[in-house]
Chain A
């Protein structure tokens, strides 16, 4: 089995996880910029983080022969402070030329506030100006439905944005159609509690247009499972899906989306 982990916060994981992932067949890992679990004290904290994502982490992954790519942004959880957000937005272009940067992400909304929405629009503008792919985080739990609708509207309001170059992540049963019907890609995040488990992911896949769906673990510093994608593949097999169909979902689909960046490659 081979698979791509298109969304994982590896800076929060140990090398044991890299070892387990390559043993399970991981052929590339992509890491969106993320909230650290605490608010960074200023733009310098983001500068260091972007250096870590674009320089140190690819080297760490390379020791396991695993290509590592990243996405850059200020996470919506830190977007309430507009002054900080603008400072971070201003340094992102300096990193966009680095060889493993795939695009802008994971941008989006957290509590669906006006400031978060403004910062989202500025990220969309930055992505459009620099012709970058976009990876979007949708809010959690009770905020997801409203946030997904606001995000879809913000993306559609910018005529420069091509939906096939945008993935909207963390969809669930009540948001997957909103995303796919608008022409975007949809990410299913496999999480032990707060998002979708493997059985529900297979349910969604069996009832949606699978050509624009990927699955990811979004593993981070919280309760999460770095091998969630291969485990979902096992669930697909139990449910009678062919090896070819499973390969299409866990390798072919993410490769097709990420391959829109000439930088992306697999091991």
Chain B
């Protein structure tokens, strides 16, 4: 598909998600107290969009991933939270 066709198909949806994202950032700003590591990880991942590189989705996912390679000793629980505290250590 050409760019025009892809815009016809996805622009409105992406526009809506972009505004959702902006509203989410505003909402966090207006909230009280301090944000945890997830917000820093989120902002770092946002930076991937501005780089203009071809694999933005992959790079966002990589930036939100645990960069370590060894299995951990014990499970801290069953769930995942979507970001890793020390991604800057990469």
Contact = CB atoms under 8 A, between A and B. Distances in A.
Interface in B74-90: 74-78, 80-84
B73 interface: yes
A240 B9 CA distance: 12
A68 to B, nearest CB: 27
Interface in B1-60: 1, 9-10, 55, 57-58
B86 to A, nearest CB: 11
B65 A174 contact: yes
Majority-rule SS of A interface residues: helix
B78 A110 contact: yes
A203 interface: yes
Contacts of A77: 78
A142 interface: yes
B22 to A, nearest CB: 19
A38 B14 CA distance: 37
Interface in A131-184: 139-146, 149-150, 172-174
A2 interface: no
A77 B77 CA distance: 9
Contact of A113 (B1, B75, B80): B75
Given A77-B78, A80-B75, A145 B65 contact: yes
Given A141-B81, A240-B1, A113 B61 contact: no
B62 A111 contact: no
A146 B69 contact: yes
B71 A141 contact: no
Contacts of A240: 1
Nearest to B73: A114
A174 B78 contact: no
Contacts of B76: 111
Given A173-B57, A200-B57, A238-B9, A142 B78 contact: no
Contacts of B55: 173
A145 B58 CA distance: 11
B46 to A, nearest CB: 16
A234 interface: no
A85 B65 CA distance: 28
A114 B9 contact: no
Interface centre among A115, A140, A143, A144 (most CB of B within 10 A): A143
Contact of A112 (B57, B61, B64, B71): B71
B66 to A, nearest CB: 5
Nearest to B14: A199
Interface string A14-33: 00000000000000000000
A4 interface: no
B75 A142 contact: no
Contacts of B71: 112-114, 116-117, 150
Contact of B72 (A112, A172, A203): A112
Contacts of B83: 141-142
Contacts of A117: 71
6 contacts: A111-B76, A113-B75, A141-B80, A142-B80, A145-B62, A150-B69
Interface of B: 1, 9-10, 55, 57-58, 61-62, 64-69, 71-78, 80-84
Q: Which 8 A-B pairs have the closest CB atoms?
A: A141-B80, A145-B65, A174-B61, A173-B58, A111-B75, A140-B80, A173-B57, A142-B84
